Amino acid sequence: MSHVAAVERRSGISDTLSDVFFARPKLLTLLLLLPPLLWIGIVYVGSLFALLLQSFYSLDDFSGLIVHEFTLSTYAQLLEEANVQIIIRTVSMAALVTLACAVIAFPIAYYAARYARGWTKAMFYLAVMMPLWSSYLVKVYAWKLILAKEGILTWIAKGLHLSWLLDGILALPVIGGPSLSFSYVGTFLVFVYIWIPYMILPTQAALERVPLSYIEASADLGAKPKQTFWTVIFPLALPGIIAGSIFTFSLTLGDYIVPTIVGNSRLMIGQAVYTLQGTAGNVPLAAAFTVVPMVIMGIYLYVAKRMGAFDVL
């Protein structure tokens, strides 16, 4: 039998490095964290800060040049009637889209978490993820065709003798319009379709972590299914729903493609930013507009935290 040393002595750069990292694990952590931290620090936080800074400058109406002096006049401009209308319109749309996504996503997520096994689970993931693989623009234009006056929805409504319902919806003030593809209803439908995977997945992940025994324990302690839902299942799913709503809400707040293609001509925040920084050249006001969703999300998360939505985490 050959003699084997109890302590190996090797040398080489890789060996030496391994020894150094083994002795100082924090050094390794630091080295691994540095590139992503730099990326986040400069590319994300840095650019956000630059954006914030822009919103405190102003546009000289006469020369069309940006005045690099600290002022709140851009924010005063933001609070003008027309701009406030844009904000209210966008926030209302985002809130409604989020609510609809949550209501539609929950049963799907619940089914996937509680009942789907094996191939049904695979099919679930496929069905939820597949729409994300195709181009966003293609999907939005497809919806424009579906919702158009001569589109398939009108045709189906006619076939089912439900044209009166469609006409009724289109005749409604504010949300109606000449056709679904030129109305808030249409914009809403497309937003819900586009963002719903972002609500289903976090909700499902949260529900996966609710073991069956919690539901049984609740029933065992006398709770009817409805009570169990509101006192056990829903509170435990809430962090997932909140996570999903952050996606659906902020994505709707910032989007400008959907309302441009499907909807009426009244602007949303995204479109306002697009126009302001492009043709109008008013970068300060565009920056001020983008601060709005950030502030709203901040308030939303703060309120959610205060209400105990993250207590389970």
Strand partners, 59: 66
Q: Per CB under 8 A, which region of 115-123, 164-172, 220-228, 248-256 contacts another protein?
A: 220-228
Question: Rounded CA gap, 25 and 176, in Å?
Answer: 62
Chain center to CA of 104: 16
For residue 57, the tally of other CB atoms under 10 A from its CB is 19
Choices 166-174, 198-206, 227-235, 242-250; region in contact with another protein by CB under 8 A: 227-235
Whether residue 198 contacts residue 248, with contact meaning beta carbons closer than 8 Å, is answered with yes
- Encoded one letter per residue, x for contact with another protein by CB under 8 A and - for no contact, window 281-310 reads ---------------------------x--
CB of 242 to another protein, least distance (A): 13
What is the DSSP track for 149-211?
TTSHHHHHHHHTT-HHHHHHHHHSTTT--SSGGGSHHHHHHHHHHHHHHHHHHHHHHHHHTS-
Residue 221 beta carbon to another protein: minimum distance, rounded to whole angstroms: 4
Report whether 269 contacts 293 (CB < 8 A).
yes
Q: Of 96 and 312, which has the nearer Cβ to another protein?
A: 312
d(CA 106, CA 204): 8
- 14 vs 213, beta carbon nearer another protein: 213
Establish if 27 lies at the interface with another protein (CB under 8 A): no
For residue 242, state whether it binds another protein (rule: CB under 8 A).
no
41, 211, 281, 298: which one binds another protein (CB under 8 A): 211
> Using CB under 8 A, which of 217, 299, 303, 307 touches another protein?
217
Q: Binding another protein by CB under 8 A: which of 77, 139, 235, 257? A: 235
Q: Which is nearer to another protein, 206 or 296 (CB)?
A: 206
CA dihedral 248, 102, 207, 255 (to 10 degrees): -10
**71 contacts 281 by C-beta, under 8 angstroms:** no
Number of residues that bind another protein (CB under 8 A): 20
Under the criterion CB under 8 A, does residue 219 sit at the interface with another protein?
yes
User: Which residues are at the interface with another protein (CB under 8 A)?
Assistant: 211, 213-214, 216-224, 227, 231-232, 235-236, 308, 311-312
